A and B are shown apart, each in its own frame.
Chain A
Amino acid sequence: MTIIEDTAPVPAPGGSGDAPLLEVRDLHVEFHTREGVVKAVNGVNYNVHAGETLAVLGESGSGKSVTAQAIMGILDMPPARIPQGEILFRGQDMLKMSAEERRKIRGRKIAMIFQDALSSLNPVLSVGYQLGEMFRVHQGLSKKEAKAKAVELMDRVKIPAAAARVDDFPHQFSGGMRQRIMIAMALALEPDLIIADEPTTALDVTVQAQVMDLLAELQREYNMGLILITHDLGVVADVADKIAVMYAGRIVERAPVHELYKRPAHPYTRGLLDSIPRLDQKGQELYAIKGLPPNLLRIPSGCAFNPRCPKAQDVCRTDVPPLYEVTEPDGTPLAGRNSACHFWKETIHG
């Protein structure tokens, strides 16, 4: 009985009781360049369960995409190197697997959706070919069967007249339709986990919502885990279960999505929230976090955010803050909440 449960854990959306689908532990990624060693990821921990959506939030250069690429195993090594850390998929460390074992997980168990569908799809192959390729390579289907499957997939992501358009090339589709094709390709083999790296950034605002809704709908339908990487707080509010905020290669805050919006526990998160335009602030000057994202060749000592932080004290410049457990003022722990700020108490309650 217990054995069955171990191999096929009953998914519980948002639940954290059972074993996670994917767990990233103390991951470090660095790039060796002519100018020096760029420390892109410095000890990241997060996990995703089946049916759960984790949003990873951060500016460009925060390490959110690099972490995702490390999970997918598509980093170029060299120049990239993973000196430390584990990436557990269903309890197995993928960093210790052979190249062939990892290849078999890619696309089949973990799939990825990229930001720019136009450049991410092969320009000289028809979308039908590129979709069907998944079935031909991983399941050994014939060309004809694969094409039928491709049409089916295009139908499922709501591309009109799929059968007529299966032989069209990527450039013949609109941006939104292309991103749907990317989603269809990720979905093809019904993977356990999808990583979506800024899936809607390149799209028009109206199309963004449609694509996001489609992604969320399909995720529920297949009960997949979803890692949603974005720099846009607006995108994640409706679809994510929990959020991890990254800064300079570290997670600085972790929280269930609505908690984070209500009560941020890190000055950086607060800054991000304050810089979203709101209707009730009409006429006021929009808040902006001062300064620039850190140079990853020379990450500031102490808390990496200290040069830009309005609340920075001496300790922030000397001591790297650990990821504190966040509690209510009375000491009641807040489930799933962490903050890497020495002054998280003041930030959340003050």
Chain B
Amino acid sequence: MGRYVARRLLQMIPVFIGTTLLIFLMVYALPGDPVRGLFGDKGASPAVLESLRHEYGLDKPVLVQYWDYMQNIVLHFDFGTQIASGRPVTDILGEAFPVTLRLAGLAFLIEATLGILLGVVAGLRAGKAADTAVLFLTLLLISVPVFVLGYIFQTVFAFQLGWLEPSVVDDTDFMQLLMPALVLACASLAYVARLTRTSVAENMRADYLRTAVAKGLPRRRIISVHLMRNSLIPVVTFLGTDIGALMGGAIVTEGIFNIHGVGGTIYESIVRREGTTLVGLVTILVLVYLVMSLIVDLLYAVLDPRIRYA
């Protein structure tokens, strides 16, 4: 196990470097100029632009810039400076992350409970009306884009029914975050429900389940111990990798509900061509993703004794 973790960590290093470099290249090598963007349409004198470029190291070759940037992150935990505000990117991250973490956490909770519940109901009644209904609902949730869903929820629950605030004023209030979290969770919820459904339906036909029945176990125990223990293995691993996706995917949801989290900050940085902020934020997201996929792999081994890492 220890050796496996070490090997996986070693494998993560080139992937981490490659992914961040790709993002870096995408931000800096493509046409567009962050410093010019700073002055908007008014423009500024070439000398001013030049000195600013020099200050932020933008006049160096991209690979050198990348090397400097990564060195600062690794050695000093320094993610650079936001050009527009002159503040350290770590400060901005510190403000944005807790907000998104709350939103994504709540979404994750909704996704896991509702998704598994729907999936189990459908899986236990595979081929019956309840199954078809869940199948249809999940197809709908997957097909309707998240921004459409966001507007529908806003219109129905906020404007027409008046149950909830249309946008988030206080992002520490979980009641206000509920609707955005639900919108964010919807598509993932549908995937979880379908995955659970498939897994449950498949395990329902398994030989070992027949054995459990033949042992004279009560139905409650057959389902909760024998069926669930096996069926939830793929679901748990999916949920693990989904945490990172929820955080990265919050851009649209945060935009619709006016939440100032990672998504909003990323959107601003993209539009303003704030390379340093953007790369910093995305680097963290990539790290979250890589760490989560490692944890999921290890979790798999814990949940399924047949898998043992040498």
List A residues at the B interface (Cβ < 8 Å). Answer: 72, 74, 103-108, 111-112, 114, 116, 119-126, 133-134, 137-138, 169, 171, 185
Residues of B within 8 A of A126 (CB): 305
* Distance between B154 CB and nearest chain A CB, rounded to angstroms: 43
Residue of B nearest to A195 (CB): B214
The 8 A CB mask of B25-63 against A (1 = contact, 0 = none) is: 000000000000000000000000000000000000000
* Distance between B83 CB and nearest chain A CB, rounded to angstroms: 53
Residues of A within 8 A of B208 (CB): 119-123
In the complex, which of the residues A114, A123, A125 contacts B210, with contact meaning CB atoms closer than 8 Å? A114
Listed by A's residue number, 5 A-B pairs whose Cβ atoms lie within 8 Å are A106-B215, A107-B216, A123-B304, A137-B221, A185-B215
Residues of B within 8 A of A134 (CB): 215
Whole-angstrom CA separation of A171 from B305 in the bound complex: 9
The 8 A CB mask of B216-239 against A (1 = contact, 0 = none) is: 111001000110011001000000
Whole-angstrom CA separation of A171 from B210 in the bound complex: 18
* Distance between A127 CB and nearest chain B CB, rounded to angstroms: 11
For the complex, is B211 an interface residue (Cβ under 8 Å from A)?
Answer: yes
* Distance between A93 CB and nearest chain B CB, rounded to angstroms: 18
In the complex, which of the residues B207, B230, B233, B303 contacts A114, with contact meaning CB atoms closer than 8 Å? B207
Q: Which of B208, B215, B304 has the most CB of A within 10 A?
A: B215
* Distance between A193 CB and nearest chain B CB, rounded to angstroms: 12
Whole-angstrom CA separation of A124 from B209 in the bound complex: 12
Contact A124 B207 (CB under 8 A): no
For the complex, is B64 an interface residue (Cβ under 8 Å from A)?
Answer: no
For the complex, is B12 an interface residue (Cβ under 8 Å from A)?
Answer: no
For the complex, is B7 an interface residue (Cβ under 8 Å from A)?
Answer: no
Contact B230 A124 (CB under 8 A): yes
Closest 9 CB pairs of A and B: A107-B216, A106-B216, A119-B207, A122-B208, A169-B305, A107-B215, A120-B207, A112-B214, A120-B211
Contact A120 B210 (CB under 8 A): yes
Residues of A within 8 A of B225 (CB): 125
Whole-angstrom CA separation of A169 from B213 in the bound complex: 20
* Distance between A104 CB and nearest chain B CB, rounded to angstroms: 6
Contact B216 A74 (CB under 8 A): no
* Distance between B290 CB and nearest chain A CB, rounded to angstroms: 27
Contact B233 A133 (CB under 8 A): no
Residue of A nearest to B205 (CB): A76
Contact A74 B221 (CB under 8 A): no
Known: A138-B216, A169-B306, A171-B306. A114 touches B211 (CB 8 A): yes
Residues of B within 8 A of A114 (CB): 207, 210-211, 214
Q: Which of B208, B217, B304, B306 has the most CB of A within 10 A?
A: B208
Whole-angstrom CA separation of A317 from B214 in the bound complex: 40
Residue of B nearest to A111 (CB): B214
Whole-angstrom CA separation of A112 from B215 in the bound complex: 8
Q: Which of B206, B212, B214 has the most CB of A within 10 A?
A: B214
Whole-angstrom CA separation of A116 from B210 in the bound complex: 12
Whole-angstrom CA separation of A124 from B206 in the bound complex: 13
Known: A112-B214, A121-B211, A137-B221. 12 other contacts (CB 8 A): A72-B214, A103-B217, A104-B216, A111-B214, A112-B211, A114-B210, A116-B207, A120-B208, A123-B230, A124-B303, A169-B305, A171-B305
Contact B214 A124 (CB under 8 A): no
Known: A137-B221, A169-B305. A122 touches B214 (CB 8 A): no
Whole-angstrom CA separation of A108 from B215 in the bound complex: 8
- 8 Å CB contacts to A: which residues of B294-310? 303-306
Contact B214 A123 (CB under 8 A): no
Whole-angstrom CA separation of A105 from B214 in the bound complex: 10
Whole-angstrom CA separation of A143 from B100 in the bound complex: 43
Residue of B nearest to A107 (CB): B216
Residue of A nearest to B207 (CB): A119
* Distance between B233 CB and nearest chain A CB, rounded to angstroms: 7
Whole-angstrom CA separation of A106 from B219 in the bound complex: 13
* Distance between B300 CB and nearest chain A CB, rounded to angstroms: 11
Whole-angstrom CA separation of A168 from B233 in the bound complex: 19
Residues of B within 8 A of A112 (CB): 211, 214
* Distance between A106 CB and nearest chain B CB, rounded to angstroms: 4
Residue of A nearest to B208 (CB): A122
Residues of B within 8 A of A122 (CB): 208, 211-212, 226, 229-230
* Distance between A38 CB and nearest chain B CB, rounded to angstroms: 18
Whole-angstrom CA separation of A103 from B233 in the bound complex: 28
Known: A105-B216, A107-B216, A124-B305. A119 touches B221 (CB 8 A): no
Residues of A within 8 A of B304 (CB): 123-124
Whole-angstrom CA separation of A305 from B117 in the bound complex: 51
Residues of A within 8 A of B218 (CB): 103, 137
Residue of B nearest to A69 (CB): B210
Residues of B within 8 A of A125 (CB): 225-226, 229
Whole-angstrom CA separation of A72 from B214 in the bound complex: 7
* Distance between B298 CB and nearest chain A CB, rounded to angstroms: 16
In the complex, which of the residues A104, A106, A119, A138 contacts B214, with contact meaning CB atoms closer than 8 Å? A106
- 8 Å CB contacts to A: which residues of B256-299? none
Contact B216 A108 (CB under 8 A): yes
- 8 Å CB contacts to A: which residues of B194-214? 206-208, 210-214
* Distance between B228 CB and nearest chain A CB, rounded to angstroms: 10
Residues of A within 8 A of B216 (CB): 103-108, 137-138
